[in-house]
Structure 1
Amino acid sequence: MAEPLSLLVPPPAALPAPVRALQTTRRGGVSPAPWDTLNLALHTGDERARVAANRQRLEQELGLAQAVDWPRQVHGTQVVRAEDLQAAQAQGMTLEADAVVTDRPGVVCAVQTADCLPVVMATADGRAVGVAHAGWRGLVGGVLEATLEALHAGRPDAPVQAWMGASIGPGAFEVGPEVRAAFLEQDPGAGAAFVAAGAGRLLADLYQLARRRLERAGVRRVAGGGRCTFREAEHFFSYRRDGETGRMGTLVWIEPLQGDAD
């Protein structure tokens, strides 16, 4: 029998009231090691039936009216609407994207991570939401800015709030000098997010880098951070730590109002 689900949720003030968001942990599913236990990804070597059972359990636990559709992530900057994911899935296709947005109540946006940073965003009026999969390549490429642009479609002046889920922490994310150089080329102040680790290597702070990108794009309310997928092995999958492992999911949606037709 599966253990209880363990979920990471934003503090109450992080996102507007109509919006619900969460990140799964590795706890609460049926997959054996090395995917133990709540692996939500089909591309990791886990059996499809177990992944399907994990996804179904999550959807039932959350009381979702529709199944969650997942994009095929490539560390890029493509943003897709959740409704388009649904339409593609109905035809047996999966769309390539690293961020998902919607303005339809009850429709879930979701991405998967196992060290990269998931960033949830919502307009302050709660009428549009999205989530981005942001590793360092996605951050440099502009995946957060692309997600913000998609959220602002039809509401260009709407302020946006953001919540960062769990990613690899600044004490564990070792990178080469070319990563620092890529960020500095766009933002000279980004150097503060890197510290020397010896032998020409650096430790990078994904949380700080994402905050800088969001703030430079006009997002003034950013919550979350402070967890480490690499160090907290009992709670989170980590590709850098384990190689063969599962994936967590980060979900966001707008709660339908009572009486909504759909």
Structure 2
Amino acid sequence: MNAKNATQWLLPDWPDVPDNVGVLCTTRRGGVSPPPYDDGQGKGGLNLGTHVGDSPKCVERNRDILRAELPAEPAWLTQVHGTVVLDAAAINPEADPPVADASYARERGIVCAILTADCLPVLLCDVKGKIVGAAHAGWRGLADGVLQRTVTAMRDAGAGELMAWLGPAIGPNRFEVGQEVLDTFLQRGTMEEASVRDAFTPIAARPGKYHADLYALARVALYGMDVPRVWGGDFCTVSNSGRFYSYRRDGVTGRQASLIWLR
């Protein structure tokens, strides 16, 4: 870890994560991007998204800052709120990022990466440190089963008992959704109905509106796949403007990354 830039990173509090698993989350701090991609405190922002309108030169410089902390170029994805899961080792860093919303790695030095600005990044590894994975879990992906597909892909690739960490996302008191979101979860049937309903709190003053808890929904999905060891879920991207980018809060904004690899 570069001591000069250490304060800009978010290091997951993930008990018992194997020693050979590297984990890192970026924030909006410590980069070179101007407003509205800045750090919210008058300095350059560490926007890592190439698709949000920021200067390509700024994004490349920000990615250079991140690369200095990693063993290799991250296996970037073109995320579409879907459920495709790829082997990160098969992703060509010189080509356009493939369309997918999750990846896994079995080889040392292959970095799985997810970009977010309110959606939930979920990092996974098996308890013996043989395989790691990362998933982009917005509400659409959660409803369609992106976490279940990621867990299945990792097990098919040789994972044993899995554990997970839930990264920074929009908090349960800030994510207002309509009836159609709850209905989508119930119609998809990817999770137990009673547990899904428990993750949606009706807003008394706004009939037909709910506060949805992405963290709770992710836990339901993971528990249903026999992944009981789940940590994280302690942040709200919307509420913490000095640390995180948030699309719901700002509209035009940057993206932070959650990354995991074997070392």
Same fold, TM-score > 0.5, yes or no: yes
Q: Which segments of 5 or more consecutive residues in structure 2 lack a partner in the other structure?
A: 39-44
Pairing 1:170-181 to 2, within 5 Å after superposition: 170-181=172-183
Find the aligned partners of 2:24 and 2:179 in 1 and give their Cα distance.
33
Q: Which segments of 5 or more consecutive residues in structure 1 lack a partner in the other structure?
A: 256-262
1:247 matched to 2:250: no
Find the aligned partners of 2:31 and 2:66 in 1 and give their Cα distance.
9
Q: 1:14 to 1:193 in 2, by over 3 A?
A: farther
Find the aligned partners of 1:12 and 1:114 in 2 and give their Cα distance.
21
Find the aligned partners of 1:10 and 1:152 in 2 and give their Cα distance.
23
After TM superposition, give the deviation of residue 180 of structure 1 in Å.
1.1
1:152 counterpart SS class: helix
Find the aligned partners of 1:194 and 1:246 in 2 and give their Cα distance.
28
Q: 1:14 to 1:74 in 2, by over 3 A?
A: farther
Residues 171 and 236 in structure 2, CA contact (< 8 A), matched pair in contact too: yes
Identity %: 44
1:44 matched to 2:49: no
Match of 1:13 among 15, 39, 46: 15
2:31 counterpart SS class: coil
Pairing 1:229-248 to 2, within 5 Å after superposition: 229-248=237-256
Output the amino acid matched with 2:100.
A
Match of 1:193 among 192, 199, 220: 199
Per-residue CA distance 1:190-242 (angstroms, 9 max, x = gap): 11111112232110000000000000110010000021001111110000110
After TM superposition, give the deviation of residue 52 of structure 1 in Å.
0.5
Bigger shift: residues 165-174 or 13-22: 13-22
After TM superposition, give the deviation of residue 12 of structure 1 in Å.
4.6
Bigger shift: residues 197-206 or 158-167: 197-206
After TM superposition, give the deviation of residue 243 of structure 1 in Å.
0.5
2:169 counterpart SS class: coil
Find the aligned partners of 1:228 and 1:144 in 2 and give their Cα distance.
20
Residues 48 and 59 in structure 2, CA contact (< 8 A), matched pair in contact too: yes
Per-residue CA distance 1:144-202 (angstroms, 9 max, x = gap): 0111111112426x110000001000000000111112223422121111111223211
Q: Give the corresponding residue for 2:74.
A: 68
Find the aligned partners of 1:57 and 1:102 in 2 and give their Cα distance.
23
Q: 1:13 to 1:42 in 2, by over 3 A?
A: same
Output the amino acid matched with 1:253.
W
Match of 1:122 among 122, 125, 130: 125
1:132 matched to 2:173: no
Bigger shift: residues 11-20 or 242-251: 11-20
Residues 14 and 223 in structure 1, CA contact (< 8 A), matched pair in contact too: no
Output the amino acid matched with 1:69.
A
TM-score between the two structures when normalised by the length of structure 2 = 0.90
1:207 matched to 2:215: yes
Match of 2:108 among 101, 105, 108: 105
Q: Give the corresponding residue for 1:258.
A: none
Aligned length: 247
> What's the RMSD between the two structures over aligned residues?
1.4
Bigger shift: residues 238-247 or 147-156: 147-156
